[in-house]
Structures are given as C-alpha cells and as structure tokens.
Homo-oligomer: A and B are copies of this chain.
C-alpha cells in the first residue's frame, strides 16, 4: 500500500447561492483517495459506510486503485450524512444538518498490508480515531499528514494536540490556524503550531490560496481564479489528497518538492470546485492536471531586475 488514508465516506446535501445537490457522494477520505489516485496505484481506504452507500461508487474507486479492505460496510445502517449551505462569498458555509449514523461506530482496524504503508493521511475525524490509526502502524511511516477542523479544537483539544505532536504535516485553514495558536498573524501562528510538533504547516485559504510554512521557510501558492465556482465542498480534502499523493509518488520530502505538491494539490482542488461533489474529479485526466499546473506557473510567473540605477 503506497498510501493509507482514514476519514469519512459520506453523503452530502449541498446548497450554494447558485444551485443545489441533494444527496451526492462526499466525505474527506473519498476526496483524498480520489485525488491521490491520479499519482498512485494502490491506496488503502480506512472508513465506515452503511449498506446504503452505492456499490457502483465503491467499484469505481476500486478501479482507481482504492483498496477497500479497510472500509467497513455496516448492514442495515446509514452512511454519515452532512448538509451545508454556502454563503454568497462561497468561502464560508453553515452546517444545516449532521447525521453521524455509522460514524459513531468507526473503530478503525487496519488490514495487515496497510500497517506498513510509507505514507499516511489522517483525514478530518475525531483525533482519538486518528490516533488509533497511527497506533496500528507497525513502523513509523515515512510521512504522516493530518487534517482537522475547529470542531475538534473546541471539543477535544487535548486529544488533538497529542495527535498533532505525532505528525509531520498539519493542514488546516487560516481561521483554524489562528484559533489553534491564539495568534492573529499567520507567521506567528505558524511558529506556534510548528512548535507543537509538525515539521510543516499548510494553511489553506480557499479562494485565496495556500501557505506552506517550515521552521525557516515560507511558500505561497495562489488559488486559480475560476470563471465559475460551483461547489467548494471537498476542495480542502482534494488538495490534501493531491498533495500527499504527489509526495508518495515522488518520495521526495524536500521543501522544494513540498512546494510542487502544494501546486499539484491546488490544481486538483480547483477542478473539484467546478462541479458538485466528486463529479469533476471523475472526468479529468492526468493531462488536464498538467495543463492546469501550467496555468499556475503562468499565474505567478514574473521576472524582475533588482539592481537598478
């Protein structure tokens, strides 16, 4: 297994100022594994669904190399369900409904081949569950990344801090970085969070791009200005999946390669926003990603002569 990921596999109901989707396949681990599948042959998916989850979607994911030995299917139960409504700015949203359903019973047990994976992506979940996955690895993976959200900072900060201390890369959004650190300045927030354990911090800013911080370096990747943003749901997870998938493919953990991985993740996230749910991710090919990466190159490219007069 080149990469193992844990997270939700779910149904979403999404409302935006420009449209709605009633019951589409979503979930952090769905987006992460689909995005990573552009770069990897074999991904282990650790999650739980009810038997209402469409078998065609599971088959499609298997075809893309997403192994499901770690995906529990609970008979007679319903999959995790989330409903949300985006504000006009498309960068903020309200949760309308959360039905945890099978998620209450998620007690991840890693199949043997998963336990030796070199790359591990802990999708946003109860930090206790994230820790349980980490505990089952027979040896420390070469790289562990994790995502989380403000809910766990509000309700399970101690557990969250324990997991954060054990990972290499933390990916959160700017508001969460400020909350977790108690610092307004993102530079100070990054220093505070890096002191908690991770070697790298990725701050996701939605339509405003992403920042990568290490102890002494910082990199900024823009978001591509899109003609239409249809649905940002899953963009952060798609970003994370593209990021870790590219790293697992290249097996290079240098800062320069992390920068590339950020661009790759940003390119995939930009596709994700173009249609509801996972739809757009299923349409694109590897060459579409390369084409979009070239757009990122052009977007920020400039040359300037510093010594004048």
For A267, give the chain B residue with the smallest CB separation.
Answer: B304
* CB-CB nearest 10 A-B residue pairs: A208-B208, A259-B302, A220-B222, A300-B300, A290-B306, A260-B304, A187-B227, A220-B299, A187-B225, A186-B225
The answer, among B225, B294, B307, for a CB contact under 8 Å with A211, is B225
Q: Which B residues are in CB contact (< 8 Å) with A308?
A: 290
**Closest CB in chain B relative to A250 CB, distance in Å:** 9
CB pair B185 A263 closer than 8 Å = no
Flag whether A94 is at the interface (Cβ < 8 A).
no
For A300, give the chain B residue with the smallest CB separation.
Answer: B300
The answer, among B208, B294, B297, B301, for a CB contact under 8 Å with A209, is B208
Flag whether A149 is at the interface (Cβ < 8 A).
no
6 contacts between A and B (CB under 8 A): A185-B227, A187-B227, A208-B209, A256-B302, A260-B303, A263-B304
**In the complex, A228 Cα to B221 Cα: how many Å?**
21
A residues lining the B interface (CB < 8 Å): 17, 88-90, 184-188, 205, 208-209, 211, 218-222, 225-229, 256, 259-260, 262-264, 286, 290, 293-294, 297, 299-304, 306-309
Q: Which B residues are in CB contact (< 8 Å) with A306?
A: 290, 293-294
**In the complex, A219 Cα to B224 Cα: how many Å?**
10
CB pair A218 B225 closer than 8 Å = yes
**Closest CB in chain B relative to A183 CB, distance in Å:** 10
Q: Which B residues are in CB contact (< 8 Å) with A220?
A: 209, 222, 225, 299-300
**In the complex, A67 Cα to B209 Cα: how many Å?**
41
**In the complex, A182 Cα to B275 Cα: how many Å?**
22
**In the complex, A220 Cα to B297 Cα: how many Å?**
10
With contacts A184-B90, A208-B205, A222-B209 taken as known, whether A263 is within 8 angstroms of B302 at the C-beta atoms is yes
For A220, give the chain B residue with the smallest CB separation.
Answer: B222
**In the complex, A77 Cα to B185 Cα: how many Å?**
40
CB pair A218 B188 closer than 8 Å = no
**In the complex, A186 Cα to B224 Cα: how many Å?**
11
For A223, give the chain B residue with the smallest CB separation.
Answer: B220
**In the complex, A301 Cα to B211 Cα: how many Å?**
13
Q: Which B residues are in CB contact (< 8 Å) with A259?
A: 301-302
Q: Which B residues are in CB contact (< 8 Å) with A229?
A: 185
Q: Which B residues are in CB contact (< 8 Å) with A263?
A: 302, 304
**In the complex, A304 Cα to B301 Cα: how many Å?**
13
For A305, give the chain B residue with the smallest CB separation.
Answer: B260
**Closest CB in chain B relative to A225 CB, distance in Å:** 5
Q: Which B residues are in CB contact (< 8 Å) with A187?
A: 225-227
